[in-house]
Structures are given as structure tokens and as C-alpha cells.
Structure 1
Amino acid sequence: MGVLRKMSAPFVALGSSGVAIRTRLKHLTPEDEGVLRVVGAHLGLLASRDLRRRCADGLEHSSDTWAERKRALTGESSSRWAGSITKVNHDQWALSRRAQLAHIQGLEAGMKTIEHRLSLPVGERGSKRAPGGYRSRQEWFAKTRRLHVLEDQLTAERADREAGRVRVVRGGKKLARGRHHLEAAQLTAEQWRQRWEASRWFLAADGESGKRFGNETVRVTPDGEVSLKLPAPLAHLANARNGRYVFAARVHFHHRGDQWADRVSAHRAVAYRIHLDVERSRWYLTASWTIPPVKTVPLARARKGGMVGVDANADHLAAWRLDEHGNPCGAPSRFFFDLDGAASFRDAQVRHALIRLLHWAQRHNLSIAIEDLDFGAEKTREKHGRRKRFRNLISGMPVSKLRARLVSMAAELGITIVAVDPAYTSQWGAQHWRKPLTSKTRKTTRHDAASVAIGRRALGHRIRRRTAPPHDDQSDRRGHRTAQAGGGARGREGTCPRIPGPRTRSDGAVCGAKAGDQDAQHRSERPAEPVQLMLSL
């Protein structure tokens, strides 16, 4: 039996630190749309040039080079537009660096798995914890060639990282590659060109506290009037004072509109982004701002009254309610979602499943326990070999999106989220809880049992269920075997200590001079021993 890895303790997940709301820019005139397209294309060109300079700086980037880039952009736009462009590009470069590191770690993990399998004899069976050898000599030879390919890729990626070189595509690499596969993307050349140009526009401005309505570049008044500070070369397009353009559209935020209005009225910072949905030919305005982190509820308070254990799967969420002692209550619940379709459809499915789960937990006034999953190193084909369906299953699970949305949506409803270590929850849950919770009218699945294991771990109990005492007689002289004791309690697997004295609730059972004399008791006959003695005589 292998050594179990050390598991981390449960913790209360922090709430979201930002808010983003979106509304549609309706009733735009042709002149309004023309101004948005011209300004977006002009600022997008400046953003592309600045991103190229940022990538060229690499690790030599400093505050001086940042200020130099900003001064170069100010003359062609404005100081605030230049600040927004340089900040976005710096964040994009940092994101690419993190993605580069993750790619390097994935290559190292794949090479390690291939080297391990190549060292084993061909056809050797593997175990649950480690893969075995390859099935044939042909596959073994193919993997040796793939190992050399991964080594070359790893060498190139490490060289790029040491030099501070990253590769970024404004507009997205997926859309850029789609130009060569228009039939597969079901797009014409003109449709692709429209999407490509719209994705490279830049119409985003950071907020400033203390300025009028929280933003001097893209200004939205409390009554919904939207105006834009035009770049210096496009100042001739202004229809208002100080080089501003006021749109005919009026906006209204249906979600969190009161919070937005309070911030705008108090002149607190609000960032705005305008973008075009090419498929629908609609313009949208997104407002965002930061909020203080939600105060973390103590873990002891989150455990009060019980917990709702949730097991995330590829097509549903399995949940079961547990009391504070870790005992399952009622019947399990499942919240299904469908991830086959467009990104907007998948996102809506996940949100719908989460809101049903949160409302169910809110009715019981309980916290939610969920696994702290991360499948970053579990998706490679080197780890799972030919199990393509299993790899696709893992890749299709919306782990990061589900966790982020669950935390943010739970914070709005005042529900606490407790994250637990995902180690062995499915295996031990099925081993200790699947059979006991199955009856003639209820079929408990492996996922339902895993939700019980997750909830018990969040409550601080051991996953193994409490066992009953032996059925040798009606007394409990052997004691109850229980798994509720702490992991460090000595003798927790032994029998309970024997308590001297009779097992009776009567007062004074051992008191009096004739306590041991059976003849003195109120019985219908004398004890058996004297009767047998008289018969023998």
C-alpha cells in the first residue's frame, strides 16, 4: 500500500474583490457608431505598437521605460488614454509570463511520465498511482521520438523565459488561426475580418476617485448620459466642449444599478469598457470597480449547524446535506448542466446550476463545502495514455469558472464557501458511504458518496463512517468502535474502558446489606442454585 500524501486543512474561501456589470448601448445613431469605430481603431493601433515595445523590453522593463512609453502615447491620444493602454499591455505581458511558466511545468510533467514509462518493460501493468509500461514496441518507439520533441520544446521555452520573451496576439491566437480554417469556423473572409478588427479595438478607460463621476475619459452620468474624451488627432469629431463626444444613447444598469449610482454620485472610481458584438451587431458598455474583500467567517462558525457537501462533475453537481456531526440528512440533490454548445450557453448553464444550489443551501441556512480542484497537471495525454474520453472529461469540467462564480455568487447571498483538499474523497466516499446509504428506494451513486466525504472533511470529521458495536449480546461490554475521535487521540481504535458497577438506572442498586442476596429480592421464586440443591437431596 502506498503512502498517503499529506492533506491540507479546510479553509474558508475569500469573496470576490471586484464587480463588473454590463448593459447595452441602445439607439446609437450612425454618427455615434462611426465615432466609436474610428476611436477604437486609432487607440487599437496605438495599443498594438505599445505592446510590441513592452514585449521588446522584456525583463529590462522599469518605471522609467513605462514613463517613456506613456509620454510617447500621450501626444497621439491623451495622458489618461496612454495610462490605460500601458497598464493593459503590462498586465497582458504578465499574464503571458504566467502562461509560459505553466506550459513549461506541463512539458516537464509530460517528460517525467514518458521517462518513467519508457524505463518499464513493455506490457507491464500499472497501478492506480503510477502508469505501467507501453503496450507494444511500436508505441514505445513512438514515445521515444515524442520525448525528443518535448525536450526541444522545453529547451526553447526555457530560453524564452530566461530572456523575458513572450508571444502575445492582440485579438486572440484562436481567432488568428481561424483565418486559415474558415470552413471549420463557418466564417467568410469578410466576417472573419470584421471580428478580427473589432477584437483589436481599444475602448477602455480606468477610473479615478475624486474626478467627476469617477472617470474623466469615459463618463457616464447618473441619468445615463455617455460621453467620450476624444484623442487629440480626432478632436475635430467632438460635439461638446473640451473635445468630448456625447452619444445619443442612454444607459441603465439593471444589475447592481443602485451600487453603481452611489459610486458615480460620490465621484468614486469606475472603469468602463465599450465593445462590439459582431455576431449580434450590438454595442455594450461594461462598468467595473473594486470592492473590499468580504470578511472571512471563522471556520467554526461556518461549521455550525452542519454543511452542504458538493461534488463537482462534468455534467452535474452532486450535493448532500450533513448535520454538525457529519451524518447525512434527507436525500441527495443533483443540479445538472449541459456543456455542449457555445460559450455563452455553457456559461448560462453553469450559472443556472449554481444559483439553484445556492438557493437550496440558503433554505437550510448552511455553508457549502467544495473541493479545491486544480486539473492543471492532470490533462496531459502522457499521464492518461489512450484514455481519450477520460482526458476529454477532465478537460471539459469548468473547474476554475465554477469555483470563481460560486464564490462571487455566494458572497452576494451571504453563504460561506469552505474549500477542502480533494485527495481520496471519491475513493473513500464510495468505500465507506455508498453501500450504507443505498436502499430499496434510493440508489446512491459514487458522486453522492463523494459529496458526503467532502462535507465530513469540511466539518473536521474523518471520512470513514461510524461503525456499530458487535451484536454478540444486548450489553455494550466491548464498547463502541467509532471514527469520530481526532486523528491524534491515543487508543481511538480500541475498546471503550469498562465502567464498574451494574448497568441500571435504579437508585442505590449497590447499597444496603442485602444487595447481593438474591433471596431478599422480590422474586416469584428462589434462585436456581438452591432449588437444584434441594432436588438433589
Structure 2
Amino acid sequence: MDGGLRKLAAPFVVPGPSGVAIRTRLKQLTAVDEEVLRRVGAHLGALASGDLKTRCHDGLEHDAKTWTVRKRELTPVSSARWAGAITRATHDQWALARRCALARLQNLESGVRTLRHRLTLPLGAKGSKKDPGGYRSRREWHAKARRLHVLEDRLARERTAWEAGRVHVVRGGKRLARMRHQLPAAQLTQAQWRARWEAARWFLQADGESGKRYGNETIRISPDGQVSIRLPAPLSNLANAPHGRYVLTGRIGFAHRGTEWADRVAANRAIAYRIHHDPARGRWYVTASWQKPVSQPVPLAAVLADGVIGVDMNADHLAAWRLDVHGNPTGTPRRFSYDLTGTADHRDAQLRHALTRLLHWARTCGVRAIAVEDLDFTAEKTREKHGRKRRFRRLVSGLPTGRLRARLTSMADATGITIVAVDPAYTSKWGAQHWQKPLTSTTRRTTRHDAASIAIGRRAQGHPLRRRTAPPRTHQSDGCGHRIVQAGPDAAGREGPRRRLPGPRTRSVPPDAERTRATRTPTTVRGVRSEREWVPDSLLLTD
């Protein structure tokens, strides 16, 4: 684009989820059942910790041969399938830590680059839209110079660790590990913290295998809800069923997607299970997950055939507006609020409730597409870039962009609605410039977020964000193309010559004036006043 604006990415259809995960509670467990689960989880968790330590020690020198050696060492103390599940989980955890280290390295490089640029500018130098200006005072300049040395030292350490392949992983979570030193602030006793720490480090998950009985040989759940676990070799004396298995007392049932799960179990298709414990509530849960084939993306034109709903995501609500096929906003804007304070479960429930209302409204309107922004704030929330804008940094950091996008894609796929992602550049600015004021009336107050939702929807449809385009300079008509973008040339009711309607246009003309005017020869000469003046007829007066 001209004028210094960055090039906009084309809108695209977001692919649906590639997997499904459902969870239910393990009920009616006896004390013996819970003790067996604890011992199995603690034993396998210790093996997983040792395997992760070995994998981190190998670093970039890891290959298939070392993987085979690790799996062979774990098999005698567990089983072949338990060893495979542990090593695969270790690889996933190491890869995640590796990606986090790369993101940390890029964040430090961005901070160092910004500090170096601002320190070279004079004090009080004004910045531009792309680059920040100089610092306000000598004191701030000195503080930022010291911070630059700190970040350069951190960057050197992170770069050395990245090149060597070293990662930092804490089984159980770094946040829970640091909570041990702040028990009064966390309102926990040492025993309560110890219970959470041990439960987080247990390992009770097994990958599925197609063709095997009920899709999983290690953790097997029958169609009637019976759960049985293949015990590791050192704990085989705890078995209460043949072939070293332990059958739990309680039965389970999946309420969400239960029919789909039952069909996979009956067909012996692969299903992965994970059993975990919540010490705070004293409950046990089992999570079932499986992969699903990724559906072919629907063409964008077919998705937008019935219009689109543009959604602007904000810190406390979703602003949505429905647009017709020509890009015109119809109806009234909608707002779906949520509260992102509190625990993670509360925040997730708030997002799920807001997205559920949004999808129900989309189905009521008959729209098959929802347009959202393809937001990515990984490089936009650094402390060095925004400086004193602490509220803005907190606002950007609090936006649940990744979780909302994943949740919306998963929920929309179940309802048959397609998600269209658009470039977020200038949507709020241009939406407020072209749409906020025209759509504001005495009975409706259009906010900046409502106008941004219109801009998002129009960008998904391929329309310009402004309401009308200027007519051609050479020909101020339809000779060089239609002058507005709301309707195409083939749309009914577009601009054109008006059709002549027979009959009078005003009530002062006799009804037969159109017929007599077409057959009568005109006798009036321009510039000459007619000698025949109109004289009103006398009224007929009757008694």
C-alpha cells in the first residue's frame, strides 16, 4: 500500500481443530483404588523425571539411537507401552521448552534493539509512529543505560544456552515450585502444597493404538464405563484382574461427545487417556482425547454467501455486528461481555459463555461465517517498546488472544460456522473514521469497537473499509465502473435511469393529462404570454 502503510495480508479460512479432548470424573472409588492410583502415578512420575533429565542432558545430540536406549532402559521397570508413553511425553515437553527459549531470545533481542535506538537519540526527541523517541530526562536515560547492560548479559546467556541446546524445565510447574517459598501469601500449608506438588508430578497417561481392544491397551475403558489399568512390572502384585491389570470399582460416562467416544471404542480406534488428581477438591478425573481428520477448507466465497459477522475482541467484551453480502451493517450491534479476573477456570468459563452466546446469535441470523482479527501480541507487549504506557502493556498482556482463537475455532466447528481471520492493521482507526459517526443516532450510540467490527467484517468480504469510493475523475458516471461498493452491477436496485411511470406526478394535474399531452400539438410559444388566461368556473350553487 502507498503512503507508508504496511501491506495487508489476505483473509483466510481458519482450519478446524485436529483433535478432541473430553473429561469426566472418576466416582465411587474405594480407598484401595486411590492407593493403587497414587502408587502407580508416583512410580511412573519418578521414571518420567529421570527420562526428562536424560533428554535434557543429550541436548542437540539426541537421535533415534539414544531414544531407543532410553526406551529399552525404561521397559523392565514399567512395560513397553508405558516406556513409549513416557519417552513421547518427554520429547513433547522438551520441544515446548525449546520453543519457549526461542521466544525468550527473540524478546530479549527486541528489547536490546529498542534500548540502543532510544539511547542514541537526544533527550526529548520526538518519535514517529514506527520508532519511539528519546528519553525525557537524563535520569531516565541513565536508568535505561543500566538496564541495557542487564539485558545484554541475559541475551548472551540465553544465546549460549540456545546454541548448546540447553533448556530449563520444571516437572510440576515453575509457578507451583516457587509457591513453596510463599505459602502464607498463597494461603496454603506445607502439607497442602506437598500434596499439590506430588500430584502434579505423577504420570498416568497412555497413548492409544488402533486395532487394539477398545483403542488402548494400557488404560482401557470399556463401552459400559469400566476402567482398567495395566500395572508396571514392580507393582504387578496389586493386580486384581488377569494379565497384570487392575480394575477400578467405579464406572464412568462421558456426557460431552459421549456418542462419538462410544463409536470409537466400539470400533477399536485409538484413544489416549490421562488420569489426574485434584488435591484441593479430593477428586480424580480422566481425560480422553483422539485425533480427527482435518476437513478441507471451504472456499471463502461460499462461506460469505450469506453475509458475515465481524467481531472485535477487547479486554472485557466482544463487539459484534452483522453485515450483509454487500458489506452494509444490518440490525443493531451486539456486545458479549466477560470478566477475566479470578482463577484460570473462572476466566475460561467466562470466555466459553461469551463465545456460546455469539455462536447462538450467529445461527439465529443465518450467517455461516464469523470474521475475527488474526492478533499476535508476542512482539507488541515488551516493556522497552511502550515504556511508560503501563496500563496499555497490562491491557495487551491481558488479552486472551491465543485461548480465545482456539476456543472459538473448536466451538464453531461443532456448530457448522466457519471462522475467517483477517489482518488487524488499522481496523480500529479506519472503522472509527468511516463508520462511527454515520451510524450514531439519538437512539443508538456507536462505539469505536462497534465500528471496528464493521471494518473487520468488510475486510473479510474484500471490501474497502471506507463507506464509498470516489467516482472516476474522467467520467463522473457509470462509464468507468460502478461508483459505490455496496452493490455490484448485477444487483437489483442499483443506480440507473428511472423508469417513466404513467399518470400524474402531483394532485394539481388532471388524471388524463399524460394521455392528452402525448396526442395534442403544443401551441405555446416560449417568451410570449398566452392570451388565454385561466378563469375558474363558477360554482354550481344549489339549495
TM-score computed with the length of structure 1 as normaliser = 0.90
**1:38 equivalent in structure 2:** 39
Query: Equivalents in 1 of 2:184, 2:47: separation in Å?
Result: 32
Residues 337, 353 of structure 1: 8 Å contact kept: yes
Counterpart of 2:254, as a letter, is F
The answer for the alignment partner of 1:399 in structure 2 is 401
Secondary structure of 2:69 counterpart: helix
What corresponds to 2:511 in structure 1? none
Aligned equivalent of 2:276: 275
CA distance in 2, matches of 1:63, 1:478: 68
Counterpart of 1:444 in structure 2 is 446
SS of residue paired to 1:422: coil
Deviation at 1:353, TM superposition (A): 0.2
Match of residue 311 from structure 2: 310
Secondary structure at 2:297's aligned position in 1?
coil
Aligned residue type for 2:257: R
Find the aligned partners of 1:412 and 1:324 in 2 and give their Cα distance.
Answer: 24
1:520 Cα shift?
9.8
Residue 191 of structure 1 and its aligned partner are, at CA, apart by: 1.1
The one-letter code of the counterpart of 1:362 is R
Q: Which amino acid aligns with 1:118?
A: L
1:133 deviates by 1.3
Instruction: Go from structure 1 to structure 2 and tell me whether the alpha carbon gap of 1:32 and 1:523 turns closer, same or farther (over 3 Å shift).
Output: farther
- Match in the other structure for 1:321: 322
CA distance in 2, matches of 1:93, 1:478: 64
Match of 1:344 in 2: 345
Give how far 1:128 is off: 3.4
- Deviation by residue 1:124-174 (Cα, 9 ceiling, x = unmatched): 233333322111111111111111111111111111111111010000011
Gaps of 5+ in 2: 488-495, 503-516, 531-543
Offset of residue 523 of structure 1: 8.2
Write the mapping of 1:160-171 to structure 2, written as runs, cut at 5 A. 160-171=161-172
In structure 2, give the amino acid aligned to 1:199: A
Pairing partner for 1:461 from 460, 463, 484: 463
The 5 Å alignment of 1:508-523 reads none
Q: Could you tell me which amino acid in structure 1 is paired with residue 462 of structure 2?
A: G
Q: Distance in 2 between matches of 1:245 and 1:477?
A: 80
Structure 1 stretches of 5 or more lacking a match? 470-474, 487-498, 508-518, 533-537
Task: Tell whether the 8 Å contact from 1:43 to 1:203 is kept in structure 2 after alignment.
Answer: yes
Q: What corresponds to 1:226 in structure 2?
A: 227
Cα deviation 1:444-485 (Å, max 9, x = unaligned) = 10100000000000001010112698xxxxx97999984639
Aligned twin of 1:374: 376
Equivalence for 2:534: none
2:140 equivalent to 1:139: yes
Map of 1:53 onto structure 2: 54
Aligned to 1:528: 526
Show the counterpart of 1:16: 17
Q: Structure 2 counterpart of 1:307, which letter?
A: V
Distance across 2 between alignment mates of 1:477 and 1:209: 63
Mapping 1:195-206, distance limit 5 Å: 195-206=196-207
Paired residues, number: 504
CA distance in structure 2 between the aligned counterparts of 1:482 and 1:125, rounded to whole angstroms: 41
Structure 1 window deviating more from structure 2 (8-17 vs 186-195): it is 186-195
Percent of pairs with identical residues: 65
Kindly provide the amino acid, as one letter, of the partner of residue 428 in structure 1.
Answer: W
Q: Distance in 2 between the 1:194 and 1:126 partners? A: 53
Aligned to 2:81: 80
Question: Is the Cα contact below 8 Å between 2:477 and 2:483 reproduced in 1?
Answer: no
Contact 1:207 1:269 in 2 (8 A): yes
Query: 1:16: Cα distance to partner?
Result: 0.2
CA 521–148 in structure 1, closer or farther in 2 if over 3 Å, else same = farther
CA drift at 1:205: 0.4
Q: How does 1:242-253 map to 2 (within 5 A)?
A: 242-253=243-254
> Alpha carbons of 1:503 and 1:162: their partners in 2 closer, same or farther (altered >3 Å)?
same
User: Is residue 462–residue 483 contact of structure 1 (8 Å, CA) maintained in 2?
Assistant: no
Is the alpha carbon distance of 1:435 and 1:521 closer, same or farther for their aligned partners in structure 2, counting shifts above 3 Å? farther
8 Å contact from structure 1 (residues 464, 483) kept in 2 = no
- Evaluate the alpha carbon distance shift between residue 22 and residue 520 of structure 1 in structure 2; reply closer, same or farther with a 3 A threshold: closer
Structure 1 residue 364, shift from structure 2 partner: 1.5
Aligned to 1:304, what secondary structure does the other structure show? helix
* Structure 2 counterpart SS, 1:369: strand
* 1:524 to partner: Cα distance: 7.3
Report the Cα offset of residue 522 of structure 1: 5.3
Does structure 2 conserve the Cα–Cα contact (< 8 Å) formed by 1:466 and 1:481?
no
Find the aligned partners of 2:498 and 2:253 in 1 and give their Cα distance: 74
Aligned partner letter, 2:374: D
C-alpha distance in structure 1 between counterparts of 2:525 and 2:171, whole Å: 98
Paired with 1:157 and 1:446, the residues of 2 have a C-alpha distance of 41
Contact 1:468 1:481 in 2 (8 A): no
Q: Give the secondary structure class of the aligned counterpart of 1:303.
A: helix
SS in 2 for 1:321: strand
**Root-mean-square deviation over aligned CA pairs:** 2.5
Q: Output the CA distance in 2 between the equivalents of 1:198 and 1:236.
A: 23
Contact residue 207 and residue 214 of structure 1 kept, 8 A: yes
